[in-house]
Amino acid sequence: MSDPVRLAKRVADLAACSRSDAEQYIKNGWVRVDGCLVEDPAQPVSTEEVTLDDEARLEAVEPATVLLHKPVGYDTISGRNPAAALVRPDTRWPEDPSGVRMLERHFHRLTPLVPLDAESSGLMVLTQDGRVWRRLTEDGDEIEQEYVVEVSGEIAPYGLRRLNHGLHYNGRALPPCKVSWQNEVRLRFALKGVQGGQLRDMCAQVGLGVVSIRRLRIGKVSLAKMPVGAWRYLPVGERF
């Protein structure tokens, strides 16, 4: 039985490449040990079969950004029931159109962004990418979000007009937004700089109770047909 060596050394010998290139191949998910994908260059191997994918490339792997359809009852930024725990290999949307190859490293250090109340569902963003983090934090108040809100009760006179412009929240006047009826029990909101609890308070100010809230879109990125509890990648080139 041969002495164990680092996987990177075995791959370097196998592919006749440098040790650094071998480590890149491994980290990028192109190497299998006895048929199992391994992303750790330091993993010891001895007699195992090591294979390098025929399509292996040395290009850098982009940090991942994940779009999750958060169910009701899960916390986004902080809380006892973090929605981030739902992002697992088995919950990836089978129809994910991104074309991104799933890697084990994509499930580490995902930072949740753009708060969403635990009682609400819909689009949630988690990222490893500093560019996405800056866009959604530093410019967050300038990015329009879209929600569908199921309501109960009878709207007050001129209530729809007031929802569009004329309400206050937390002691300040709210800027104009776009609110329209989707059907007899659902309102569609498109607004910027939304705060926690704001939509429920806006509805209460015009005599409506809130049955449910679902976020459909953040900027140009939408929930589309992704089912509750599933996630997909934000493809390279898609912007908020």
Closest CA to 102 of 68, 131, 50, 61: 61
Task: Flag whether 60 is in a domain.
Answer: no
pTM, entire model:
0.84
- Residue 180 has a pLDDT of 97
**% of the chain beyond a pLDDT of 70:** 99
Q: What is d(CA 228, CA 231) in angstroms, rounded to the nearest whole number?
A: 9
Q: What is the mean predicted confidence (pLDDT) over 7-27?
A: 82
CATH (domain of 78):
3.30.70.580
Is 121 found in the same domain as 229? yes
Task: Flag whether 82 is in a domain.
Answer: yes
- Residue 197 has a pLDDT of 94
Of 37-51, 102-116, 129-143, least confident by mean pLDDT is 37-51
Q: Is the pLDDT of residue 1 over 60?
A: no
- Residue 56 has a pLDDT of 76
pLDDT digits (tens, 9 = 90+) for 184-196: 999 999 999 999 9
Is 191 found in the same domain as 91? no
Distance of CA 227 to the CA centre of its chain: 13
Is 114 found in the same domain as 77? yes
Task: Flag whether 57 is in a domain.
Answer: no
- Residue 215 has a pLDDT of 98
Of 21-25, 65-69, 95-99, 219-223, least confident by mean pLDDT is 21-25
Task: Flag whether 21 is in a domain.
Answer: yes
- Residue 188 has a pLDDT of 98
- Residue 186 has a pLDDT of 97
Confidence grade of residue 72 (pLDDT, cut at 50, 70, 90): very high
Is 182 found in the same domain as 72? no
Is 114 found in the same domain as 208? no
Number of domains comprising the chain: 3
Task: Flag whether 59 is in a domain.
Answer: no
Q: What is the mean predicted confidence (pLDDT) over 98-120?
A: 92
Is 209 found in the same domain as 194? yes
Q: Return the SS3 of 38.
A: coil
- Residue 208 has a pLDDT of 97
Q: Is the pLDDT of residue 207 over 90?
A: yes
Is 12 found in the same domain as 109? no
Task: Flag whether 58 is in a domain.
Answer: no
Is 159 found in the same domain as 212? yes
Is 227 found in the same domain as 123? yes
Is 228 found in the same domain as 119? yes
Is 16 found in the same domain as 110? no
> What is the extent of the structural domain holding 170?
144-218
Q: Is the pLDDT of residue 84 over 90?
A: yes
Is 167 found in the same domain as 130? no
Q: What is the mean predicted confidence (pLDDT) over 52-61?
A: 79
pLDDT digits (tens, 9 = 90+) for 22-45: 787 888 778 888 888 887 888 888
- Residue 126 has a pLDDT of 97
Q: What is d(CA 223, CA 217) in angstroms, rounded to the nearest whole number?
A: 6
CATH (domain of 155):
3.30.70.1560
What residue has token string 């929802």?
163
Amino acid at 161: R
CATH (domain of 15):
3.10.290.10
Number of H helices, E strands in the chain: 5, 16
Of 98-102, 124-128, 143-147, 213-217, least confident by mean pLDDT is 98-102
Average pLDDT, the chain: 91
Task: Flag whether 100 is in a domain.
Answer: yes
Task: Flag whether 20 is in a domain.
Answer: yes
